[in-house]
Amino acid sequence: MKRILLTVMVIVAGLSAIAPDVYAQTSGRNARAATRQEKMDEWHKEMAEFRARSAQDRHLQSLVDSVASVQARAALQNQDFVLEADNVTFRNGATVFVNSNTNFISVKGNRAVVQISPSNMASGPNGVGGVTVDGTISGQQIKQGKNGQITFTMNVMGIGINAQVEIYMFPGSNEASATVYPNFNSNTVWLSGKIVPYENSDVFEGMSL
């Protein structure tokens, strides 16, 4: 009997010693779980705020693009615009990212200027790293496709240029691309950028041929 009683006392003592550790472990797990939940709640809150800001930014950008598109469309129709290019692709497939201030196609009334200046180092014939040619436009047409794309075509004739130019403006923005087909050689050039009203452009025109 004494042996049984002693065994029970040992077990009780052992349980008494283990109980604080179990409580401490349980409390620790609860604290860590609470911390993780707080972090998750904070993350969800930040994501909700980010999505709200993103939606506002997208709405604002949509409005800006719509205004720019309307202005560009009017500029094309009035033959009073500049396509400021940020990249130029040559016939061999090489694409060069360029300065939009010195790479452009401009139309003012019946005068057009095509300037390609891919180099920021060499002065080039125009003094700004490339070539500048200007001429008189004729045969200009503007069409709108079913998808809203605007196509503006013209012939440019002058001392330094004799080419057909096609400009495509994408719907909902003033982003555009252009193809220049020289009539005297096969050195076709493609430009991509944005169309802005002539008076809003800050391009720098070099010396023409």
Distance separating alpha carbons of residues 87 and 116, to the nearest angstrom = 10
**Model pLDDT, residue 156:** 94
Q: Choose among 168, 167, 72, 151: nearest CA to 114.
A: 167
| Assigned token pair, 27 | 């409390």
CA–CA distance, 179 with 176 (Å, rounded to integer): 10
CA 133/CA 138 separation, integer angstroms:
16
In the chain, where the domains are located: 1-209
Residue 37's pLDDT is what? 78
CA distances for 130 relative to 26, 70, 96, 119, 138, angstroms: 75, 32, 13, 7, 25
The closest alpha carbon to 176, from 64, 61, 69, belongs to 69
Residue 40 burial by Cβ neighbours in a 10 Å radius (0-12, 13-18, 19+): exposed
Per-residue pLDDT 10s for the chain (209 aa) are: 555 544 545 444 554 554 555 455 666 667 777 788 787 778 777 777 777 776 666 655 555 567 889 999 999 999 999 999 999 999 888 999 999 999 999 999 999 999 999 876 567 788 888 889 999 999 999 999 888 899 999 999 988 788 999 999 998 899 999 999 988 777 899 999 999 999 999 999 988 87
Whether the Cβ atoms of residue 128 and residue 81 lie closer than 8 Å to each other: no
Q: What is the DSSP letter of 84?
A: E
Note the CATH architecture for domain 1-209. Beta Barrel (2.40)
Contact 160, 133 (CB under 8 A): yes
- Tokens at residue 140, please? 């200009």
Res 115: pLDDT? 93
Residue 80: count other Cβ atoms within 10 Å of its Cβ. 15
Q: For tokens 């193809």, name the residue.
A: 179
Q: What is the pLDDT of residue 98?
A: 94
